[in-house]
Amino acid sequence: MSDHTGTHVDGLNHAAIGNTFYNGFDTRDLTTTRGTKKLGMDTMPPLVSRGVLVDMTFHGRYNSRAMIHPRNIEDVLSRECVAINRGDGVLIYTGWECF
Q: Domain limits of the chain?
A: 2-43, 51-93
CB 51 within 8 A of CB 88: yes
Mark 37-67 as b/e (b = at least 16 C-beta within 10 Å).
Answer: eebeeeeeeeeeeeebebebeeeeebeeeee
What is the torsion angle, in degrees rounded to the nearest 10, for the CA atoms of residue 81, residue 86, residue 88 and residue 91? 70
Instruction: Please give the chain's pLDDT, 99 residues, in tens.
Output: 455 555 667 788 888 889 999 899 999 999 999 888 888 888 788 888 999 999 888 766 666 667 888 998 999 999 999 999 999 999 888 876 654
